[in-house]
C-alpha cells in the first residue's frame, strides 16, 4: 500500500470476524466469535458508523450484541417496507433478528446513555476530532443533530441443515425480501419464504457441502457452489421438479483441477436488467505455488467471458451494488484487490491488508439506504479477517490532467492559432 494513502485499519474488535454486511450507506455490521468453548472470546455482532473527515475514513462503534455460546459464521441483511431484518447462521440453525432503526439525540449517544438491546450499556467510541468538539456541541442550545441508533431483537429460529454433523455454511436473502436460501454440510439448498422462514422447496444436485449462494438482481435465479466443483444456476420460480438451468465447472487455463470458492451476480450498468456471474476458484492440489482464478460468466448460456489468474489462492469475493467493481481477498497473504467488472482489469492492489486470510468483503454501497459518504475515492472496499480487524481500501479517482497543464495547453493552442492566422494574413 502506498505510504501516502490514508487507508487501512478502521476498527478492531475482541473476537475473530467471519462475516460483514452493510446496514445503510454509512453503517456496517461485523460478526463472528470464538465459538462455544470456554476461551473467554465473545460471540456476536458489532455495528459501526463510517464517515470521512476529509483525509481518511473513520469508524465509530454504535452498538454491540452478543449471541451467547453461538458463533456467527454467516449473515444476511435486507431492508424492506421500512423494516430491517438480519439472518445469522448459528451452528445448524438460522436465527432471525429484527433490526430497529431509530433516530436519537447525538449528544446522548456521545455520552453513552443509550441502551443496547441485550441490556448492556455501551459507550460509543469516538474519534479525537469528535472528542474535541463534544463540549462545544453539547453546550450549543441550538444543536438538534440526530444520529441513527440500532436495536437488535431476536425472533424466530429454524434448523436449516440436517446432516450427521449439521452446520449451516451460508444464508442469503433475496433482493425483494421474499425468499431466503440456506446451504450447509448436508449438500442441499433450501429455499424459504421470508420473513416467515417456512420451507418452500429443496434443491438437490451437489454431492458435497455447500460454500456459497447468491440471488440474481431480479431474484429470478439462484446460484450455488459446493466442494464438488460445481456451480449450479437455478430458477427460483415454484416447480414440481427443480433441476439446474445451468451447471458450470471451473475452466482453468492449465489442465489442473480447480474448485469454486465464492460466487456473485453483478449488474451490467449499460444494460438495464442485465447481469453477469462472477466466481473465484482455487486449485484442488495444494502442492507448488497455488494460483487462484477470478472468472466472469454469461448467465444465459454459461459461457466463460473472461478469466484472470491471481498469484495465490482466494478466499473472498464482492461486487459493488451498481456492478462497476469487483473485489477479491486472498488466502495466505491477506491481500485485497479491486478490479473493473466489465474488463477484469486490476486497478488496486493492497498487499498484506490483514495478517491472516480475508474472511469477508463488501463495497460501500452507492444505492443503499440513507445518504452516501462523501469522500475523494471512486470506490471503497471494506474487509475483515480472523485477525479481528475491519479495514477499508479506497480507489482514488483515476488521474486527470492537472489544471495548470490544461491552462498551458490552452495558451499554447491559442498562440499557435494566432500565429497561423497572422502568417496566412487572416
Q: Which helix (H) or strand (E) holds 136?
A: helix 128-138
CA dihedral for 308, 312, 314, 320, sign (positive or negative): negative
C-alpha 307/C-alpha 186 separation (Å) is 31
Which three cell numbers, joined as nine digits, stand for 394?
479506497
What's the pLDDT score for residue 277? 97
Number of H helices, E strands in the chain: 3, 28
Show the beta-strand stretches assigned E in 208-344.
210-215, 221-226, 230-235, 246-249, 258-267, 275-283, 292-297, 304-310, 314-319, 325-330, 336-340
- The pLDDT profile of the chain, 426 residues, written as one tens digit per residue, is 333 344 799 999 999 999 999 999 999 999 999 887 667 889 999 999 999 988 899 999 999 999 998 899 999 999 877 789 999 999 999 999 999 888 777 665 555 544 443 333 333 444 433 444 434 444 444 445 677 888 899 999 999 999 889 999 999 999 999 999 999 999 999 999 999 999 999 999 999 999 999 999 999 999 999 999 999 999 999 887 789 999 999 878 777 889 999 999 999 876 777 999 999 999 987 655 679 999 999 999 999 999 999 999 999 999 999 999 999 999 999 999 999 999 999 999 999 999 999 999 999 998 877 788 888 889 999 999 999 999 999 998 865 555 666 788 888 888 888 887 887 777
What's the pLDDT score for residue 125? 46
Residue range 8-424 in CATH 2.130.10.10: yes
Residue with cell 453461538: 70
The answer to whether the CB of 158 falls within 8 A of the CB of 197 is: yes
C-alpha 327/C-alpha 259 separation (Å) is 19
Residue 352 — φ and ψ, nearest 5°?
Answer: 50, 45
Question: What length is written for the chain?
Answer: 426
Q: How far is CA 182 from the centre of its chain?
A: 18
C-alpha 299/C-alpha 396 separation (Å) is 31
Residue with cell 450427521: 164
Which three cell numbers, joined as nine digits, stand for 17?
470476524
What's the pLDDT score for residue 113? 42
Question: Quick check: helix, strand or coil at residue 110?
Answer: helix
Amino acid at each position: 500500500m502506498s505510504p501516502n494513502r490514508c487507508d487501512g485499519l478502521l476498527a478492531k474488535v475482541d473476537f475473530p470476524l467471519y462475516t460483514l454486511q452493510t446496514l445503510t450507506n454509512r453503517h456496517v455490521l461485523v460478526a463472528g466469535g470464538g465459538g462455544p468453548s470456554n476461551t473467554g472470546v465473545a460471540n456476536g455482532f458489532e455495528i459501526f458508523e463510517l464517515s470521512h473527515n476529509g483525509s481518511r475514513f473513520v469508524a465509530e462503534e454504535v452498538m454491540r450484541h452478543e449471541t451467547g455460546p453461538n458463533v456467527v459464521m454467516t449473515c444476511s441483511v435486507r431492508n424492506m417496507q421500512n423494516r430491517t431484518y438480519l439472518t445469522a447462521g448459528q451452528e445448524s440453525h438460522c436465527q432471525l433478528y429484527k433490526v430497529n432503526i431509530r433516530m436519537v439525540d447525538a449528544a446522548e449517544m456521545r455520552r453513552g446513555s443509550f441502551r443496547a438491546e441485550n441490556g448492556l450499556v455501551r459507550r460509543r467510541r469516538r474519534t479525537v476530532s469528535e472528542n474535541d468538539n463534544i463540549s462545544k456541541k453539547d453546550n450549543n442550545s441550538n444543536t438538534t443533530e440526530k444520529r441513527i441508533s440500532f436495536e437488535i431483537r431476536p425472533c424466530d429460529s429454524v434448523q436449516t441443515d440436517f446432516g450427521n454433523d449439521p452446520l449451516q455454511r451460508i444464508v442469503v436473502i433475496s433482493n425483494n425480501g421474499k425468499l431466503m436460501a440456506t446451504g450447509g454440510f448436508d449438500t442441499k439448498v433450501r429455499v424459504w419464504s421470508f420473513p416467515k422462514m417456512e420451507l418452500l422447496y429443496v434443491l438437490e444436485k451437489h454431492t458435497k457441502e455447500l460454500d456459497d449462494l447468491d440471488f440474481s438482481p431480479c431474484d429470478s435465479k439462484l446460484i450455488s457452489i459446493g466442494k464438488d466443483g460445481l456451480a449450479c444456476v437455478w430458477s427460483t420460480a415454484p416447480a414440481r421438479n427443480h433441476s439446474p438451468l445451468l451447471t458450470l465447472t471451473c475452466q482453468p487455463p492449465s489442465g489442473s483441477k480447480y474448485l469454486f470458492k465464492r460466487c456473485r451476480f453483478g449488474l451490467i450498468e449499460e444494460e438495464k436488467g442485465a447481469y453477469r456471474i462472477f466466481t473465484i476458484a482455487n486449485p484442488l492440489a495444494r502442492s507448488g505455488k497455488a494460483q487462484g482464478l477470478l472468472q466472469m460468466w454469461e448467465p444465459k448460456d454459461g459461457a466463460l467471458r473472461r478469466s484472470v489468474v491471481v498469484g495465490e489462492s482466494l478466499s473472498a469475493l464482492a461486487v459493488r451494488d451498481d456492478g462497476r467493481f469487483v473485489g477479491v481477498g486472498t488466502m495466505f497473504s491477506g491481500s485485497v484487490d479491486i478490479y473493473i467488472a466489465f474488463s477484469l482489469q486490476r486497478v488496486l492492489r493492497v498487499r498484506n491488508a490483514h495478517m491472516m486470510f480475508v474472511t469477508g468483503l463488501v463495497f460501500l454501497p452507492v444505492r443503499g439506504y440513507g445518504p452516501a459518504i462523501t469522500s475523494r475515492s471512486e470506490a471503497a472496499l471494506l474487509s475483515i479477517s480472523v485477525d479481528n480487524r475491519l479495514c477499508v481500501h479506497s480507489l482514488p479517482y483515476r488521474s486527470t490532467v492537472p489544471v495548470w497543464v490544461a491552462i498551458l495547453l490552452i495558451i499554447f493552442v491559442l498562440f499557435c492559432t494566432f500565429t497561423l492566422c497572422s502568417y496566412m494574413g487572416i
